[in-house]
Amino acid sequence: MKRRIKIFSGKSNLSLVKDICNCLSIDLGLMNYIKFSNCNIKVKIEESVREDDVFIIQSGYPDTNEALMELLIIIDALKYASASRITAVMPYYPYVRSDKKDEPRISITARLVADLLETAGANRILAMDLHAPQIGGFSRIPFDQLRIKPTLCDYIIKKGIKNLVIAAPDVGSAKRAEGFARHLDVPMVIMDKRRYRDDEKAEVINIIGEVDGKNCFIIDDEVSTGGSMIESCRILKEFGANDLYAGCTHGILCNDASIKLEESPLKEFITTNTIEQQKQNDFNKLKVLNVAKLFSDAIAAIHMGTSVSKLFA
């Protein structure tokens, strides 16, 4: 008997969930969610999922810890409702920067998140553009990672930017930037950035490569406060760059990041809706790419047992 596919969702990114369901021509599963006065959460699945192939969509921002706990409770409820397979779909996977023990007595929280998902009852994880590749290896259950590169490269090509250079904001981003540069067949540069303590602002001290007279596109996986991006813009302009663009998969844009980016030398800032982007009338440089089709194709591939990697090959 062929398993039915069911989609359920947490509360973190309902607009993306709606778009994914529309792409799949599937109604969102019925679920009752209650948050009590003591901040405890109760979830009740309001339809049968026995032997179904279930996907729960939940981004890890905003309210990261609440979103994660909500996801774990939904997974647990589905497990006890006898779902055949449970896939945690996390467009933005939280705690990705806590991926290594680089100082004494700290948690490798990205590994802990993977352990929690498995313990709750998830059989598979689907996410997009992790901060570091080893995060997928933390999981003992299958972990599929989608890439924004083909979608963002198509957008860059359509813009027709001449004399283009791809810029990596730091050495750690060089491999990601190299992939974009190779796909677009353009040069790349790397900014040598130093952060002497976690609570200090990162400082770019040099650029490896030539940007004088070039139009630069800065590539990163996520932008939070925008401080590093602003510093990258400053140093690129100082080294003679012309027009500046920037793109990231996960636009967290907390505090006054949108104001800083709007006032920066950037001509355009491109991100995706892995994190729900509220319309900001004062952020005219913002362009949001919809990843619903990519996630719906990946969900369909997992359900049908076909290749996910071919979606972004």
| CA–CA distance, 130 with 137 (Å, rounded to integer) | 11
Beta bridge partners of 7: 28, 55
Q: List the chain pLDDT tens, one digit each, 313 residues.
A: 578 999 999 999 999 999 999 999 999 999 999 999 999 999 999 999 999 999 999 999 999 999 999 999 999 999 999 999 999 999 999 999 888 888 899 999 999 999 999 999 999 999 999 988 788 889 999 999 999 999 999 999 999 999 999 999 988 899 999 999 999 999 999 998 766 655 556 666 789 999 999 999 999 999 999 998 998 999 999 999 999 999 999 999 998 999 999 999 999 999 999 999 876 667 999 999 999 999 999 999 999 999 998 887 6
- Alpha helices of 93-252 — where are they, by DSSP H? 109-120, 134-138, 149-159, 174-184, 227-238
125 and 162 assigned to the same domain = no
Is 100 in the same domain as 135?
Answer: yes
Of all helices (H) and strands (E), which one includes residue 207? strand 203-208
Q: How many domains does the chain have?
A: 2
Q: Which of 103, 129, 295, 285 is nearest to 220 (CA)?
A: 129
Q: Does 140 lie in the same domain as 162?
A: no
Write out the two tokens for 218.
Answer: 């800065």
- Annotated catalytic, 193? yes
Q: C-alpha distances in angstroms, 218 versus 20, 63, 164, 290, 302? A: 28, 28, 11, 20, 32
Looking at the structure, tell me whether residues 162 and 243 fall in a common domain: yes
17: domain range? Answer: 5-147+293-312
H helices of 194-226, in order, are none
Whether residue 131 sits in one domain with residue 251:
no
**Which residue type, as a one-letter code, is found at position 70?**
E
Q: Record the pTM.
A: 0.94
């510093």: which residue's tokens?
231
CATH number of residue 141's parent domain: 3.40.50.2020
Q: Which of 18, 100, 101, 193 is catalytic?
A: 193
Q: How far apart are CA 249 and CA 146, in angstroms?
A: 11
